[in-house]
């Protein structure tokens, strides 16, 4: 049995999320079915994180165990061929130690949220960014974001359906900056609560539009109450950028 690490890119719009669902298609199911056709086995795929319906990935880390003798290149080529025409691509495939785990070996997860800050409707980016028509105060958004960095009880920014044992998380980074007509929000942590990034971004959007003050963000965090949440940003603009591992375990 060989354990393969996969780096996966996908457009989340056609899927109910990463994880298998009884009520709709998922990225996990699509790759597992392709792997089964390629190997004649019934492989199970494990990922660094679970994404919601409509959320995208630039480099999701996953692993799968395969008994059939295959080189990483042959497996990658087979999966990419069998996944067509679904918007999923295996960007890289490597052999890893049998104790390496895409989820449990992960020491950090990175996301980026894309806001298209423009009045015209989206064409090429429809479903891939959140459009906010009015000019955003990016400096105020970044200042407000810093209230959330560090160890906190993120109950306010946690979905009512979140299954995490505790709402306490350490947010390592939450940076907001402008790139032309886009406002990018970059978030890093060891792990996130369900809807945490989208909830934080939604509130930052209110700050950028002048509907919230910078201090309103602090008060929302300190409330530790989902009712204090201002807005949950749509899934369209959220991208799983990558998972981080200690070098000794990722090579």
Contact 60, 47 (CB under 8 A): yes
Place of tokens 């800050």: 117
Q: Give the Cα separation of 60 and 57 in Å (integer).
A: 6
Q: Give the Cα separation of 121 and 67 in Å (integer).
A: 49
Helix axes 27-39, 72-83, angle to 10 degrees: 120
Contact 39, 2 (CB under 8 A): no
Place of tokens 């209230």: 147
Set 11, 52, 153, 172: catalytic member: 52
Q: How far apart are the first and last CA of the chain?
A: 18
| Catalytic site includes residue 153 | no
Active site residues: 52
């Amino acid at each position: 049995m060989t354990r393969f690490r996969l780096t996966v890119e996908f457009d989340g719009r056609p899927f109910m999320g990463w994880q298998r669902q009884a009520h709709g298609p998922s990225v996990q199911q699509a790759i597992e079915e392709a792997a089964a056709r390629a190997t004649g086995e019934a492989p199970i795929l494990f990922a660094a994180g679970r994404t919601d319906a409509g959320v995208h990935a630039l480099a999701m880390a996953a692993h799968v165990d395969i008994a059939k003798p295959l080189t990483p290149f042959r497996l990658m080529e087979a999966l990419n061929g069998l996944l067509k025409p679904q918007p999923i691509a295996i960007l890289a495939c490597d052999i890893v130690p049998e104790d390496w785990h895409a989820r449990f070996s992960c020491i950090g997860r990175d996301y980026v949220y894309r806001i298209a800050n423009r009045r015209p409707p989206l064409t090429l980016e429809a479903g891939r960014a959140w459009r906010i028509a009015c000019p955003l105060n990016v400096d105020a958004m970044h200042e407000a974001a810093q209230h959330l960095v560090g160890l906190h009880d993120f109950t306010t920014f946690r979905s009512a359906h979140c299954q995490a044992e505790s709402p306490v998380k350490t947010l390592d980074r939450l940076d907001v900056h402008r790139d032309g007509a886009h406002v990018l929000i970059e978030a890093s942590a060891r792990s996130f609560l369900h809807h945490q990034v989208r909830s934080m971004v939604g509130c930052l959007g209110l700050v950028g539009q002048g509907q919230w003050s910078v201090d309103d963000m602090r008060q929302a965090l300190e409330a530790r109450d989902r009712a204090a949440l201002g807005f949950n940003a749509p899934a369209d603009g959220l991208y799983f950028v990558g998972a981080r591992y200690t070098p000794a375990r990722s090579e």
